[in-house]
Amino acid sequence: LLLRCFAVEIIVEDTQPGWFSDALVRTHLIVARRLSDEDIAVPLSARERWIEARWIQVAPETADDESLVGAAFPNQDPEAAFACWCRTGGDQRRGIEARGFSLAGEWAALRATAGSRAWFAKLEPGARDLPLYAAGAASRPPVPEAVLDLLPDEFDGSALCSLEELGLHVGQGLRTGCNRFFYCRALRESDSATIEVELDDAYGGKVLAVPRDAVRPVLHRQTDLEGWRNGHLPATRVLDLRGWVLPEDAKAARAAQRSYEIAGIAPPRQMPAALAEFVRRAAAQPLGAGEAAKPVCELSAVRTNVRAARPAAPPRFWYMLPDFMRRHLPHAFVPRIIHGSPQVYRNAEEPILIDANFSTFWPDDEGWSPGALAAFLNSAWCKAVMEAVGTPLGGGALKLEAVHLRAMPVPRLGRAAIDEIDAVFAAQKSEERTRQAIDRVVLGALLATTTSAAALDRLAQGLYRRLSDMSAARQRGAA
């Protein structure tokens, strides 16, 4: 409706902490002129001319004690001077950045993201009949406005696609329904078949010896990432009791012997006494406080673990997690809440579980190695786009969910380009040389193959600068 009913002229973006000290997100001031009723009646799909708005970013250092823009315009009426500067432009001012903002690009992005919605079809009945739409251009993920000006004028977006079109999927890591029960901390191996773990404080932080195959490593928190990058397995373990039953449940498991055979699953073994005692105690001990306190087996996200036996599906008990999916054992992952710049991490060749604190990536097939996928997603293009599509939060953090990542526009890489990224990563050259080589492959797929290496390097440098600027603007004053 803003595009349909108004001519947007200026967008002023505050960076935090700024105009409103208690605001959790950045504030935007939009200066727009209402169109006439006749112009509003014309669908956007029929609009022939688009003006270019100006996007003004105002940092906290622009203010002084008297005015929000007083340090940039030190005169008797800084607000009036700022308004004039926004309209006419002029010399560089302290803490203020200005760039063009394409309303035509916003319209293209709206068509791409909302073109299939019923309300869109009512407001823009002719949009789907446009040649551009029919050719599939409107279904491509739009280039974020924050990086659009870095691309050549002749760039038409035809080299872009979504991650899904590239055969890559995005999801969220493991949710157990109750980490206090299912997560524990590995201490030491008692013998080849047993490992000692420390239970959660909710269960007294006791040390328990459990079978090695009853727990699996899981990367739980961002504090584990530094050790993971240095080759250390995280200490957190998840109780994987799909192959174990309480003695009192053993009869039901034996009765379902045929179900296990049909499913091709080995029947569960009976839990050791100490582990069984812990599971029983957890089923009786309320978690939480007051009337809302419930034992783990009664929590809504855990009750759904229970499944009665069926011919091709063995029974499940509350202490058995559902089967792990590809999103739980991905090729690569990125924190969902980012305090610095986006950084994607690769999983091991024999993958470990990744917690729901992370968004996860995995391919359709084995055409990508974990290292190649992480290297691609850490390219200048992908990191700048991640920063641009994420949602800034209060305190300077960036929220990067699967829904954001699925909307990322990425170059349509061919098999040769993927193999080249894999080879560059495997060569293990210096970090700088590896990054440069991968950026050339990725940006070479984005632009014409005849683009010179020097031009690709300049674009990569521009993307890294823009990434740094966006990240700094988001974090400015967060401390």
Q: Are residues 197 and 297 in the same domain?
A: yes
Q: Are residues 372 and 271 in the same domain?
A: no
Q: Are residues 355 and 430 in the same domain?
A: yes
Is residue 310 included in any domain, yes or no?
Answer: no
Q: Are residues 299 and 340 in the same domain?
A: no
DSSP string, 258-279: HHHHHHT-PPPEEPPHHHHHHH
Cβ atoms of 425 and 375 within 8 Å: the answer is yes
Is residue 324 included in any domain, yes or no?
Answer: no
Is residue 469 included in any domain, yes or no?
Answer: yes
The pLDDT, as a whole number, for residue 115 is 72
CA distances from 457 to 146, 157, 345 (A): 19, 20, 24
The pLDDT, as a whole number, for residue 136 is 47
Q: Mapped to the 3 state alphabet, what secondary structure does 315-375 carry?
A: CECCCCCCCCCCCCCCCEEEECEECCCCCCEECCCCCCEEECCEEEEEECCCCCCHHHHHH
Range of the domain at 196: 179-303
Q: Are residues 353 and 221 in the same domain?
A: no
The residue among 77, 109, 139 that closes a domain is 139
CA–CA separation, 402 vs 176, rounded Å? 18
447-460: pLDDT as tens digits:
976 789 999 999 99
Q: Are residues 368 and 253 in the same domain?
A: no
Is residue 147 included in any domain, yes or no?
Answer: no
User: Of 273, 82, 84, 282, nearest to 202 (Cα)?
Assistant: 282
Q: Are residues 337 and 267 in the same domain?
A: no
DSSP string, 157-170: STTEE-TTTTTEEE
Domain count, the chain: 3
pTM: 0.82
The pLDDT, as a whole number, for residue 134 is 40
CA–CA separation, 221 vs 331, rounded Å? 17
Q: Is 307 helix (H, G, I), strand (E, B) or coil?
A: strand
Is residue 322 included in any domain, yes or no?
Answer: no
Q: Are residues 368 and 466 in the same domain?
A: yes
Q: Are residues 337 and 226 in the same domain?
A: no
Q: Are residues 389 and 449 in the same domain?
A: yes
Q: Are residues 341 and 389 in the same domain?
A: yes
The pLDDT, as a whole number, for residue 428 is 81
CA–CA separation, 185 vs 203, rounded Å? 13
CA distances from 454 to 40, 430, 443, 444 (A): 46, 19, 12, 11
Q: Are residues 285 and 365 in the same domain?
A: no
Is residue 172 included in any domain, yes or no?
Answer: no
CA–CA separation, 110 vs 203, rounded Å? 51
CA–CA separation, 103 vs 109, rounded Å? 10
The pLDDT, as a whole number, for residue 3 is 87
Q: Which residues of the chain have pLDDT under 70?
A: 16-18, 21-26, 126-139, 190-191, 449, 476-479
The residue among 139, 164, 194 that closes a domain is 139
Strand duo 332-335 + 358-363: pairing: antiparallel
Is residue 50 included in any domain, yes or no?
Answer: yes
The residue among 282, 303, 324 that closes a domain is 303
CA–CA separation, 67 vs 94, rounded Å? 14
Cβ atoms of 206 and 198 within 8 Å: the answer is yes
User: Of 357, 387, 400, 389, nearest to 463 (Cα)?
Assistant: 387
* CB atoms closer than 10 angstroms to residue 161: 20
Is residue 106 included in any domain, yes or no?
Answer: yes
